[in-house]
Amino acid sequence: MSSCHKRLFEPVRQDSFEYGFVFMKQARSVFILAICSGVAVGLTAAIVGTNPPALPLTTERIASLPLEQQAVWMAYLERSTRQSAADRAFLQAERKEHAVKKLIIPSATCNAEGIALDKPADWYGKAKARRIANIIVSFQTPAGGWSKNLDMTRSVRVPGERFTLDSGWNYVGTFDNDATTTQLRFLAKVITATGTNNASYRAAFQRGLEYIFDAQYPSGGWPQVWPLQGGYHDAITYNDDAMPHVLESLRDVAGGQNEFVFVPVETRARATASLKRGVDCVLATQIVVNGRRTVWCQQHDPLTLQPASARNYEMPAQASSESAAIVLFLMQLPNPDSNVVAAVRAAAAWFEKTQIQNVAFRKVRGRGRLLVPSPGNGPLWARYYEIGTDRPVFGDRDRSVHDAVNEISRERRNGYGWYRDSPKRVLERYAQWSREHP
């Protein structure tokens, strides 16, 4: 049995965990049969803990900071509160002006589908691209961002139409599911392709950049939703590559290359400063275990920078897929300093250590998706690893945390990507990068 297989199937350690992952005595155990390297062994699987709720950013939490740090955080929170009120007031005034009794629901799509970023440069000057750009501008929130999963290929927003698909006031401006950064890139391509006859596009683009600047925490990261929505949405969010996409956008704006050539010098300078603070935050949030850097959590608390939970089944843990996106970004930085190099090397070593071979996570007739033996398959990585032991862990809707994916509910097994191969790209790129940065 390889070392990675031992980590995958070993009995749970009843241990404590400094990042808030609440372990408890074994509440339930079952006997399972694992076939690793042709050897059948009996092992136990158990509920090993409970996922704690994430903490929002509040005045009470800010008051616990050292006095010299409180003012900047209070200013940030007050700015968020004012902007949230302004966003709501805008929609209310619009409804009143146009006598809209019932809010109109916008069309939905998956992520930012339809907002193409891979067309030839001249395509963005044509009528179809300008039509999409007009729709994008119409759905920009008063704060300057965009919601997620909106179909921006159908029609412009009309008075009284919601900015978001959510029936409440949620995700009204977010970096989740490729939102905001995708719209900004598309507008930049259209601006560059259409020359000087694009004042509305330029204004929307600048407001979108201001949205990014306004949303950045004093600690350098970005929340999932801004103005702040509370709960896990307030955490510094690497989930679904939200913050890496922001950093990539700032990098390209700061460089003033390709579609961003029109960006004024002073705005590029602001993007450069924001990017540096963001990279510093990435380095500061890299999880350290026994003096060694490892990788990152999906979310980190904005005040403490410690790993934080998100949805009920997303616990504070080392996240392989999100960490892969972070490392790929870091390896793209020109002239990386010693801190960046050390962060990349440590993460690559962790990916090497935690890769899993000879198993597959796939559908089994009548049972849903399961982790099963698959000789020759791999490498794979579990989505989450317990901090301190590098053991894969898995969450369920009831906040229970398990040490075996086959033991969580069928609904969660089928509805979530518990195993990924994205770190494989990191290791492939790292082979060359490490030679370039000895």
Q: Alpha carbon 178 to chain centroid distance?
A: 9
Q: Three-class SS string for the chain?
A: CCHHHHHHHCCCCCCCCCCCCEECCCCCEEEEEEEECCEEEEEEEEEEEECCCCCCCCHHHHHCCCHHHHHHHHHHHHHHHHHHHHHHHHHHHHHHHCCCCCCECCCECCCCCCCCCCCCHHHHHCHHHHHHHHHHHHCCCCCCCCCCCECCCCCCCCCCECCCCCCCCCCCCECHHHCCHHHHHHHHHHHHHHCCCCHHHHHHHHHHHHHHHHHCCCCCCCECECCCCCHHHHCEECHHHHHHHHHHHHHHHHHCCHHHCCCCHHHHHHHHHHHHHHHHHHHHHCCEECCEECCCCCEECCCCCCEECCCCCCCCCEEHHHHHHHHHHHHHCCCCCHHHHHHHHHHHHHHHHHCECCEEEEEECCCEEEEEECCCCCCEEECEECCCCCCECEECCCCEEECCHHHCCHHHHHCCCCEECCHHHHHHHHHHHHHHCC
Q: How far apart are CA 401 and CA 21, in angstroms?
A: 9
Q: Which of 258, 252, 148 lies closest to 209, judged by CA?
A: 252
Q: Which residues are catalytic?
A: 177, 311
d(CA 57, CA 328): 29
User: Residue 50's beta-bridge partner residues?
Assistant: 22, 400
Say if strands 39-50 and 400-402 run parallel, antiparallel, or are unpaired.
Answer: antiparallel
Residue tagged 């050539």 (tokens): 261
